[in-house]
Structure 1
Amino acid sequence: MTRSTTDEAAAPQLPSPKERRRLREAKSLSEEQVAAAVGVTRATVRSWETGRTSPRGRKRVLYAKLIAPEPEAPILEAVAPAPEPVAPTPEAVAPTPEAVAPTPEPVAPTPPAAASVIAATQEPTAEAPPPAAPEVLVQVPVVTGTGAERGRAGEREGATEVGGERRLSPAEAFDALYARAAPGLVRQAYLLTGRRALAAESVERAFQLAWHRWPEVAVDRDPAGWVRAAAYEYAMSPWHRLRRAHRHPDAPPTEPEKQALFDALLDLPPAYRRTLLLYDGVGLDLPETAAETEASTPAAAGRLMTARAAVAERLPELAATGSPAEQSALLHDRLGGLAGAEHVPVPRPARAVRTGSEDRARLWTRAAIAGVALLIAVTGLTLHTAPTHYEPPIAPAERVGGVPPRGGPQKLTAQDLKLQKSLREQLSHGPERLIPQLR
């Protein structure tokens, strides 16, 4: 039995694509809210409602619960008699501000799965506490409010105030994204590398890069995914092996099950480990996982199957699970438990990350300016000391009267040796004034 057949048999049945859209609009839910609640992109929700694709696995269950029709109210409540009209009194003839104010229309109840997403787009009030933090490995919803130009979805879902609409400044939007995504990304990077310090460093560097390119990240359809990809790339860089602090992974957990899962993850190749973490840990579907790992969908599926088989050898309960959907749910729980049980460093404040990014940009700018100035100075010195006219080469030395030219020590020929010997002999028999003597 293939994976798609098994998932469709285990997951609930969904209505037709046109009915899915009608149910979503009946609950006053936008495509962005449904995508954030299920953990996919807006384009994926649109493809579900047009019939091009269909959700599978855990996303199918969440999507079915999200668009499920509400139970009808009891008949007694629906046909309850209306109160008899009361004759207006003189005091009630003059309209008051309270009477003129329109009565708010009833709003359809919001499903629990989308409650946190809707609350994320509104400011917390004194009566309503802020939403709870998301799970460790669940995909982080997209922050819609930005100070730069946003997409069409962001224009419709900007943060509001009592007196009117308000847009978040770039710093506020970045801080909101950092506060929501940084803790989960640090734990994901720890599962990817097995090193707590490297996980915190990779997430911080990724957010510094995001702040440096914030005009590009702010209009991205998935800013949290952009930062996640940057953090994963930095964490998986092979150059970290040359650093003494990150040469060896941290000590594994003490519990046998978590230690087996920890060792199984680190034994996987980096590409297979990343694919398993994105699909079974974060909850991305197969095309999104393939796109983020820069691989084709069949290649991502092959990596996922190989990684699951390697992990199943260390975890007997995973090998006993036959359904791929059950394996995915079990791996999701185990990965979340492993990341939540370990003490992972708390990310630094968002303001410190923004300041570090700006300082780093200034440092590289100054280094580039200094390098250009040094290059100009060396070029000017070279032009100043270079010859301005042609100098012919020195002619080679020639023999004069059989005497070798003066050109430094060189090997004497047989004729040179004979001449040297004759000169020495004649010098010893010559006049005394020609013979050097020591005094």
Structure 2
Amino acid sequence: MGVGAENGTSSGTAAAPSGEPAVQGGAEWYQQPLGTCADVGAEDPPSASVPPPPRLTPAQAFDALYAYCAPTLVQQTYLLTGQRRLAREAVERAFQLAWHRWPEVAVDRDPAGWVRAAAHDYALSPWRRLHPCTFQRREPPPTDPADRALLTALLELPPPYRRTLLLYDGVGLDLPDTAAETEASTPAAAGRLLYARETVTARLPQPVAPDDLNRLLAALPSDVRPGPARPVDLRARADLHARRWIHAAIAFTTLLLTTTALTLHTAPDHYEPPVPPGAPVQGVPPRAAPGPLSKTEQKLRAKLRSEAAAGPERLHPEAD
């Protein structure tokens, strides 16, 4: 399956359950199974004698979407990154996110495009450049000189130009859809596409028309396949990841409430003015040391010593 094989997927009729989900027996069921564009176009008009297609559970619809889109998405992501391990990781993380948001993805007009955008965003995220695994191992380039030159030219393009070229010439989207998926205006997407085409074709060893880039892009990653992860494993990882986030949110909320309660308990409940700092008093004479007693003071001391220790009940003034 080449990169261009997702052309039918992007139309929204090939790899997505159509129609609103119906509830039966307490669970969601979907009216139309996933298929290919050829199958959809070859179907006869529905008649009363033909039984309706089997209804799929959310897990079955997700598994069918993964089986149909995963190989193509891995090949596309490899063209964006040049690393097989990162391509598989990006596709697996995109499907985990799709299962986590499956009620939203299932009713989307293009579920395959939703997963494709998530995989491309993860693979081209700026923080991926800071990941240590990105610099630990460099994968060998393709053996064919033309394929090696094409992949090198793609990887030297800025990420927005690389993604625009892949979506238009590789996937087969039209220009407005390419601009919408790359979050750019249509004139900006057209300018990126022309610059990317000119740059890539100039780096190839043989002259190639821009219309032939679709064939070259489809043949380049033909040996890249998805990893051994099964859809049931991806769904289990997505559920585990969601539970961990819920537990982390509960723990953080508990910690925040505990800290708030402790702060309210230990915080003062009234205003206490600060004690002003002391200041020296000016103009007060220094305290002198006591000198010898005068005759009057000696007489008073003798009188106090001669009185009872408890003193009289009441003191009366006496004249000298």
Q: Same fold (TM over 0.5)?
A: yes
Task: Give the structure 2 partner of residue 182 of structure 1.
Answer: 70
Match of 2:43 in 1: none
Q: Matches of 1:373 and 1:223 in 2, distance apart?
A: 37
1:41 maps to none
**What are the residue-to-residue correspondences of 1:295-374 with 2, within 5 Å?**
295-319=184-208, 321=209, 327-328=210-211, 330-341=212-223, 343-374=224-255
Partner residue in 2 for 1:265:
154
What amino acid is aligned across from residue 360 of structure 1 in structure 2?
A: H
Cα separation, 2, equivalents of 1:175 and 1:269: 34
Alignment correspondent of 2:260: 379
Question: For 1:251, what is the secondary structure of its paired residue?
Answer: coil
> With CA pairs under 8 Å and 6+ residues apart, which has the higher RCO, 1 or 2?
2
Q: Which residue number in structure 1 is paired with residue 16 of structure 2?
A: 143
User: 377-386 vs 245-254, which deviates more?
Assistant: 245-254
Q: Is the 8 A contact 1:147 1:168 kept in 2?
A: no
Answer yes or no: is the 8 Å Cα contact 2:19–2:31 preserved in 1. no
Partner letter of residue 233 of structure 2? A
Shift of 1:206: 0.7
Tell me if the contact between 1:146 and 1:170 (Cα under 8 Å) persists in the aligned partners: no
- Assess, with a 3 A threshold, how the Cα gap between structure 1 residues 163 and 309 changes in structure 2: closer, same or farther: closer
Tell me the SS of whatever aligns to 2:4: coil
Q: TM-score, normalised by structure 2?
A: 0.74
Q: Which residue of 1 aligns with 2:96?
A: 208
Change (3 A) 1:221 1:234: same
Measured in 1, the distance between the counterparts of 2:5 and 2:267 equals 66
SS of the residue corresponding to residue 133 of structure 2 reads coil
Cα deviation code 1:416-439 (max 9, x no counterpart):
xxx9xxxxxxxxxxxxxxxxxxxx
Residues 386-395 or 306-315, more deviating: 386-395
Offset of residue 146 of structure 1: 8.0
Cα–Cα, structure 1 residues 402 and 148, in superposed 2: closer, same or farther, change >3 Å? farther
The superposition leaves residues 21-69 of structure 1 with CA deviations (integer Å, 9 ceiling, x where unpaired) of xxxxxxxxxxxxxxxxxxxxxxxxxxxxxxxxxxxxxxxxxxxxxxxxx
Offset at residue 155 of structure 1 (A): 7.7
Distance between the aligned counterparts of 1:277 and 1:391, measured in 2?
A: 69
For 2:81 and 2:89, locate their aligned partners in 1 and report how far apart those are by CA, in whole Å. 12
**How far off is 1:297 after superposition?**
1.5
Give the superposed CA RMSD: 2.8
CA distance in 1 between partners of 2:101 and 2:192 (Å): 32
> Is structure 2 residue 276 aligned with structure 1 residue 388?
no
Listed one character per residue, the Cα deviations across residues 330-379 of structure 1 (whole Å, up to 9, x for unaligned) are: 211211221114x4452510000001110000000110110000000000
Bigger Rg over Cα:
2
Shift of 1:278: 0.6
Query: C-alpha separation between the residues in 2 aligned to 1:313 and 1:284?
Result: 23
1:254 corresponds to 2:136:
no
Query: Which ranges in structure 2 are unaligned for 5 or more consecutive residues?
Result: 24-28, 35-45, 287-320
Asked whether the equivalents of residues 137 and 336 of structure 1 are also in contact (C-alpha less than 8 Å), the reply is yes
1:166 aligns with 2:54: yes
- Return the offset for 1:250: 2.8
State the Cα distance separating 1:142 from its structure 2 match: 2.1
Q: Aligned pair in 2 of structure 1 residues 164, 306: CA closer, same or farther (>3 Å)?
A: closer
Which residue identity does 1:392 align to in structure 2? P
CA distance in structure 2 between the partners assigned to 1:165 and 1:344 by the alignment? 30
Q: TM-score, normalised by structure 1?
A: 0.55
Where in structure 1 are there 5+ consecutive unaligned residues?
1-133, 322-326, 404-418, 420-439
Q: Is the 8 A contact 1:279 1:286 kept in 2?
A: yes
Q: 1:361 aligns to what SS in structure 2?
A: helix
Identity %: 56
Equivalent position SS for 1:142: coil
Q: CA separation in 2, counterparts of 1:158 and 1:360?
A: 28
